[in-house]
């Protein structure tokens, strides 16, 4: 069986679209016919797509005013934002004792506060149109922990609370929000932070997914097929390799 999505005439906002899962979702939504508002602080990979329905913007999500202005301008121009995939994030492995105030704050600013700014800016847009779906990204490290992942895990745990409460505020307006834990994925967020030994461990046990393997789950969550799914934390569990 094969699943096809038709996003013709729809507008999907993808933050953190310049690499990894965000870039994979940008491509998937374009293939499904959507206009994609693709933003990132680094946009080179997006400009290389050369797609007429991919509208690229450089955006620092830690800048509240910039986020508000961007969302309001796009909604004013296009009249709708049907879905948002909020994939922006950073991860640095730093032990508690070695972590500076700036290290901790940077993780909170990008992974939690910046995502909050985007969610907050999208609230009035989607409530007004009485339709919309948002997806944010948590992590297994939010609950299981890992050496050096204190700041990253704490920021991702905060997103779970954000989603749970935001979903309750949105439920009477036809708008949905969910969090996805995508599993170990071959993205810069993982490969630039994990040690070679950790990467090899996952490759030899659970395996490491490619970003495009995560996209089908996300496409479903922002589609009409998931109209009753909101306030959930969905974990993409991988089947361990046979030894």
Active site residue ranges: 152
Beta-carbon contacts of 180 under 8 Å, excluding residues fewer than 6 positions away, are 135, 136, 137, 138, 214, 217, 218, 221, 233, 234, 235, 236
How many CB atoms are closer than 10 A to CB 127?
16
Question: At 48, phi and psi to the nearest 5?
Answer: -75, -10
Beta-carbon contacts of 8 under 8 Å, excluding residues fewer than 6 positions away, are 32, 33, 34
């Amino acid at each position: 069986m094969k699943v096809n999505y038709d996003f013709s005439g729809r507008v999907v906002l993808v933050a953190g679209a310049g690499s990894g899962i965000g870039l994979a979702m940008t491509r998937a939504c374009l293939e499904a016919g959507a206009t994609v508002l693709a933003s990132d602080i680094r946009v080179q990979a997006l400009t290389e797509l050369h797609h007429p329905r991919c509208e690229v913007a450089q955006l620092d999500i830690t800048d509240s005013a910039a986020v508000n202005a961007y969302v309001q301008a796009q909604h004013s121009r296009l009249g709708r934002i049907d879905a948002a995939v909020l994939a922006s994030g950073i991860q640095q492995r730093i032990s508690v004792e070695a972590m500076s105030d700036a290290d901790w704050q940077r993780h909170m600013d990008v992974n939690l506060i910046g995502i909050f700014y985007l969610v907050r800016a999208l609230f009035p847009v989607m409530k007004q149109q009485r339709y919309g779906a948002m997806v944010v990204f948590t992590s297994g490290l939010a609950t299981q922990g890992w050496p050096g992942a204190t700041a990253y895990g704490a920021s991702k745990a905060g997103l779970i609370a954000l989603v749970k409460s935001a979903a309750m505020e949105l439920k009477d307006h036809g708008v949905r929000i969910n969090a996805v834990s995508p599993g170990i994925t071959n993205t810069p967020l993982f490969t630039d932070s994990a040690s070679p030994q950790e990467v090899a461990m996952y490759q030899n046990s659970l395996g490491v997914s490619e970003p495009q393997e995560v996209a089908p789950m996300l496409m479903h969550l922002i589609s009409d097929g998931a109209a009753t799914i909101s306030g959930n934390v969905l974990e993409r569990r991988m089947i361990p390799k046979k030894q």
